[in-house]
Chain A
Amino acid sequence: MALAVFVVAGALALASALGLIIKRNPIHGALFLIVNLGSIAVLYLLLGGQFLAWVQVIIYAGAIMVLFVFALMVLIPGREETGPDPLRRVRLIALPLAALLLLPVVATLAAYRGTAVPRPSAVGGVEAVGWLLFTDYLFPFELTSVLLLGALVGVLTLAKRRTDRGASATADASAPAEERWRAPTADPTGRSDRPSLSEVSR
């Protein structure tokens, strides 16, 4: 029974991962990734990790995929991966390279003759994970809060600089705001050889 669930969920994970890298449209890729994450959540359940399965669904399939789809909507992608590939020969090398990466694992698994270790009863409920998280792994747990705070501040900084660049670009395109800025000092009819505001800020 568990083997059947494993085979179905594993095949779904493999197929959706392949679909992500084969389909051209990135929004299809996002949907495939959601299927992939969901099937891996099923595998977590099979391993006895109920907590992980729900965290996978909530954080990955919920929050992270919303971010992805949001980015897809902001930069509307379209025709960039159609047409001839300028680096086709380079990309063809990628497949043998990736297969090379698979070789050691295949060799190790093929040479695996060990008797199956009898597994202890599965631990992985919220209680076990939470106990470890707040005792043995308390320091890394606190560090993740610093990491998340850093990510938050970094994203805010990136977003803010982007609006600044956008403002200078519009000032570059339409001169009136800039002329108003230097109207008291410079001759409004002639171009002064002083660098303009947008040139200075760049």
Chain B
Amino acid sequence: MTEVPTAYYTGLSAVLFVIGVTGVLVRRNPLVIFMSIEIMLNAANLALAAFGAQFGRADGQVLVFFVMTVAAAEVAVGLAIIVAIFRLRPRLSVDDLSELRW
């Protein structure tokens, strides 16, 4: 169970995080941007769990649990905002949100 070095997990987590950042920067669909944010959160969670296992403590996993709770709340509020903004718009694209007023 303990053969995989922690550095592998950290590297995988970093690459996943960068993929998430690329998705946020490149994509135009707000829902896909949101899913990329979820990938970034999961990358950070993976690093936390890996370090927790490295030191043989469950604290890392408790932190991951909190991050999951915050992510659930964030997804609920964020999706509600996205639906409220884009329900009356013809296109589902963040490029259309260039004006700074409601």
Residues of A within 8 A of B (CB): 1-3, 6, 10, 13-14, 17-18, 20-21, 26, 29-30, 33, 36-37, 40, 43-44, 46-49, 51-52, 55-56, 59-60, 63-64, 67-68, 70-72, 74-75, 77, 80-81, 85-87, 91, 94-95, 97-99, 101-102, 105-106, 109, 112, 116-117, 119-124, 128-129, 131-133, 136-137, 140-141, 144, 147-148, 150-152, 154-155, 158-159, 161-162, 165, 169
List the A side residues contacting B91 at CB < 8 Å: 80
Classify the interface of chain B: helix, strand, loop or mixed.
helix
Pick from A2, A14, A109, A120: contact of B4, CB below 8 A.
A2
| Cβ-closest chain A residue relative to B3 | A2
Q: Is the CB of B3 within 8 A of A158?
A: no
CB distance from B67 to the nearest CB of A (A): 10
Q: Is the CB of A151 within 8 A of B79?
A: no
- How far is B71's CA from A151's CA once the two chains are assembled, in angstroms? 11
8 shortest interchain CB distances as A-B pairs: A120-B56, A94-B25, A151-B73, A21-B23, A105-B14, A128-B58, A47-B53, A98-B22
- How far is B18's CA from A45's CA once the two chains are assembled, in angstroms? 23
Q: Is the CB of B72 within 8 A of A63?
A: yes
- How far is B66's CA from A40's CA once the two chains are assembled, in angstroms? 17
Q: Is the CB of A29 within 8 A of B2?
A: no
Q: Is the CB of B69 within 8 A of A148?
A: yes
List the A side residues contacting B74 at CB < 8 Å: 151
List the B side residues contacting A81 at CB < 8 Å: 27-29, 93
List the A side residues contacting B82 at CB < 8 Å: 71, 75
CB distance from B50 to the nearest CB of A (A): 6
- How far is B79's CA from A70's CA once the two chains are assembled, in angstroms? 9
Interface code B64-102, partner A: CB below 8 Å = 1, 0 otherwise? Answer: 111011111111110111111011100111010000000
CB distance from A33 to the nearest CB of B (A): 5
Pick from A18, A98, A124, A136: contact of B61, CB below 8 A.
A124
List the A side residues contacting B72 at CB < 8 Å: 59, 63-64, 148, 151
List the A side residues contacting B50 at CB < 8 Å: 47
Between A and B, how many residue pairs show CB distances below 8 Å?
Answer: 230
Pick from B18, B35, B39: contact of A102, CB below 8 A.
B18
Q: Is the CB of A49 within 8 A of B61?
A: yes
- How far is B2's CA from A120's CA once the two chains are assembled, in angstroms? 9
- How far is B57's CA from A128's CA once the two chains are assembled, in angstroms? 9
Q: Is the CB of A21 within 8 A of B22?
A: yes
Q: Is the CB of A36 within 8 A of B42?
A: yes
Pick from A119, A148, A155: contact of B56, CB below 8 A.
A119
Q: Is the CB of A116 within 8 A of B53?
A: no
| Cβ-closest chain B residue relative to A157 | B80
Interchain residue pairs with CB less than 8 A apart (17): A10-B8, A20-B39, A21-B22, A49-B61, A49-B64, A71-B82, A71-B83, A75-B82, A80-B29, A95-B26, A98-B22, A116-B5, A121-B56, A122-B1, A124-B53, A151-B77, A154-B80
